[in-house]
Amino acid sequence: MISTNQFKNGNHIDVDGVVFKIMDFQHVKPGKGGAFVRTKLKRISDGAVIDRTFRAGEKFRAVRTELRKMQYLYRDGTDAHFMDNESFEQTAIPEVVIEERLKWMLENDSVDVLSIDDAPSDIQLPSAVDLAIAETEPGLKGDTASGGGTKPAVLETGARVMVPLFIDTGEKIRVDTRSGEYVSRA
């Protein structure tokens, strides 16, 4: 069992039979009445984020989590398929659950797959990835780093990002996977 006193961002808890990831929490001790914990929880099954308040000291079933290195194989329209690098066992995760992270991954990339109670449920990407520009408008003479301004570009994964004017098709760039923003040339 895990108490509200032991909450940490990133922990997983079971609330009424549903597994949630703790995104944010705050202990509140009002001047009048009992203390409580205000949380922002992400439902693992569909990725919905909810706000929930618990009484201080309330207990929940701790959920066993495990990270395993796996290779991203392909997606078939409903599931994304991964292979364990050690046992060569294949597993699938519904695309709707990891849709945001799929746009930063290429086939055969190595990623960390998060298993909750032995069932694969999420993936964790590095904070930045290097991807090639598949399509963008050509740069013009005089477009420099100090000139400011951005233009849309499509990456080799199909993701769309805004890049500086001097970036051309075929170049590799580094993209922040959390914000989806251009960081630098790779």
Q: In this structure, are residues 181 and 167 in contact, taking their beta carbons and an 8 Å threshold?
A: no
- Quote the number of domains for the chain: 3
What is the pTM for the complete model shown? 0.67
pLDDT surpasses 60 at 149: yes
Among 63-72, 83-92, 108-117, 141-150, where is mean pLDDT lowest? 141-150
Q: In the prediction, which pLDDT does 146 show?
A: 57
Percent of the chain with pLDDT over 70: 95
Q: In the prediction, which pLDDT does 38 show?
A: 92
Q: Is 138 helix (H, G, I), strand (E, B) or coil?
A: coil
Phi/psi class of residue 115: alpha, beta or left (left: φ > 0; alpha: ψ in -120 to 50)?
beta
**For residue range 40-91, what is the model confidence (pLDDT) as tens digits?**
998 877 778 899 998 888 888 888 888 888 999 998 888 889 998 888 888 8
> What is the average pLDDT across 28-44?
88
Domain that holds residue 142: 128-185
Residues 10 and 54 in one domain: yes
By the 10 Å C-beta count (0-12 exposed, 13-18 middle, 19+ buried), 151 is classed as: middle
- Mean pLDDT of the chain, nearest integer: 85
Looking at residue 177, which CATH number applies to its domain? 2.40.50.140
Residues 84 and 36 in one domain: no
Residues 116 and 74 in one domain: yes
d(CA 93, CA 107): 15
What is the identity of the amino acid at 86? E
Last residue of a domain, one of 103, 124, 145: 124
Of 16, 123, 15, which Cα lies nearest the Cα of 65? 123
Q: Is the dihedral of CA 162, 168, 170, 172 positive or negative?
A: negative
**For residue range 129-140, what is the model confidence (pLDDT) as tens digits?**
899 999 888 866
Last residue of a domain, one of 109, 124, 139: 124
